[in-house]
């Protein structure tokens, strides 16, 4: 199923500050896509734009076949969930309260959790294997634990598409591998997952596709291993060929 289609998109700020244009992409269910590129190339801008958090310059973004601008924030929130870089502003919430916020688009005025909401929260906690954290408060968590909890919140939002901005930053190697594994599993179960990452080597094994950005060029799209073998990825990232395997 086609979850997201991007047609001739240009992203940037204001009228004349275009970061990237002629973007034509799509994500299907079951796919884990890695967005790679140097710092400042516009990965986060791209992510904010396709989530509807930032205005685009031109082009079309279709969510499940419907133009994103024609949908209200609540309906978008039932189709895309995001995990952004950086900690949330307040950490004075319990892990369960945070994950329960994922049910925000579905609950009523008082945010009361219905049976289905509780089931989704339970599922998200089990999937991320964070049962042991459930009673803690956010400020008690390590960066890696917090990242997993934030992903669980996105899962509880129960969207077809999950977008994560650098989900493996600040994590140690073990946690990086664990998080990528979990995302791979989530995609295999039928969701579409897009991550931006600088972990080229690790994510090349987990991802089905790489979308590669470079300054002033069109986006490069391909299977990670093919791109690395051809040397095209190294060229886009401005690194020596031999460094990636």
Partner 1 sequence: MIESQLDESKKKWKKVFLLLILVLLTSFILSISLGSVQIPFSFIVNHFIGSSDNEVWSNIIQNFRIPKTLTSILAGSALAISGLQMQTLFRNPLAGPFILGISSGAGLGVALVIFLGFWLGGFIEMTGIGRNWLLVGAAGLGSFIVLSVVLIASFRIRSGVSLLIIGLMFGSAVSALVSILQYFSQAENIQAYVIWTFGSLGSLSWGELNVMMPVIMVSLIFSFLLSKSLNALLLGENYAESLGLNLKRARMLIIINTSLLAGTVTAFCGPIAFIGLAVPHIARMLFNTGNHLLLTPLVILLGSILLIVFDIFAQLPGMQETLPINAVTSLFGAPFVIWLILRKSNLNYSF
Q: Which residue ranges make up the site for partner 1 (CB under 8 A)?
A: 48, 51-53, 72-78, 80-82, 84, 88-94, 96-98, 101-102, 104-105, 107, 109-111, 113, 118, 121-122, 125, 131, 134-135, 137-140, 157
Rg from Cα positions in the chain: 18
Distance in angstroms (rounded) separating the CA atoms of residues 2 and 4? 6
Q: Report whether 233 contacts 218 (CB < 8 A).
A: no
* CB-count burial class (<10 Å; 0-12, 13-18, 19+) for 206: buried
Q: State the minimum distance, in angstroms, from the CB of residue 39 to partner 1.
A: 19
Cβ proximity to partner 1: between 106 and 210 the closer is 106
Q: What does the block give as tokens for 53?
A: 């958090």
What's the distance, CA 207 to chain centroid?
A: 12
- E strand residue ranges, the chain: 2-13, 17-28, 32-37, 58-63, 66-67, 80-83, 161-165, 192-196, 209-213, 220-222
Q: State the minimum distance, in angstroms, from the CB of residue 100 to partner 1.
A: 8
Cβ proximity to partner 1: between 38 and 107 the closer is 107
Q: State the minimum distance, in angstroms, from the CB of residue 92 to partner 1.
A: 3
**Nearest CA-CA partner of 34 in 180, 155, 143, 239:** 180
Q: State the minimum distance, in angstroms, from the CB of residue 41 to partner 1.
A: 20
Q: Report whether 56 contacts 11 (CB < 8 A).
A: yes
Q: State the minimum distance, in angstroms, from the CB of residue 154 to partner 1.
A: 9
Cβ proximity to partner 1: between 26 and 107 the closer is 107
Dihedral sign for Cα atoms in the order 225, 226, 231, 237: negative
Q: State the minimum distance, in angstroms, from the CB of residue 88 to partner 1.
A: 4
Cβ proximity to partner 1: between 114 and 205 the closer is 114
Q: Report whether 163 contacts 80 (CB < 8 A).
A: yes
Cβ proximity to partner 1: between 74 and 223 the closer is 74
Q: State the minimum distance, in angstroms, from the CB of residue 119 to partner 1.
A: 9
Q: Report whether 170 contacts 140 (CB < 8 A).
A: no
């Amino acid at each position: 199923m086609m979850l997201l289609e991007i047609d001739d998109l240009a992203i940037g700020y204001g009228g004349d500050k275009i970061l990237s244009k002629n973007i034509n992409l799509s994500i299907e269910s079951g796919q884990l896509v890695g967005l790679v590129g140097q710092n400042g190339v516009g990965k986060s801008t791209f992510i904010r734009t396709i989530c509807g958090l930032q205005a685009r310059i031109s082009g079309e973004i279709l969510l499940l076949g419907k133009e994103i601008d024609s949908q209200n924030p609540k309906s978008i929130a039932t189709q895309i969930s995001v995990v952004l870089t950086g900690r949330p502003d307040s950490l004075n919430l319990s892990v369960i309260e945070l994950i329960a916020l994922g049910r925000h688009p579905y609950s009523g005025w008082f945010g009361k959790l219905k049976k289905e909401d509780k089931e989704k929260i339970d599922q998200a906690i089990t999937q991320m294997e964070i049962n042991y954290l459930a009673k803690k408060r956010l400020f008690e968590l390590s960066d890696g634990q917090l990242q997993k909890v934030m992903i669980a919140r996105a899962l509880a939002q129960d969207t077809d598409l999950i977008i994560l901005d650098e989900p493996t930053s600040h994590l140690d190697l073990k946690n990086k591998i664990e998080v990528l594994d979990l995302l791979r599993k989530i995609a295999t179960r039928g969701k579409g997952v897009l991550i931006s990452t600088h972990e080229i080597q690790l994510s090349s094994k987990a991802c089905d596709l790489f979308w590669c950005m470079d300054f002033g060029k069109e986006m490069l799209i391909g299977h990670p291993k093919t791109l690395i073998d051809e040397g095209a990825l190294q060229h886009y990232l401005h690194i020596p060929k031999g460094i990636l395997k």
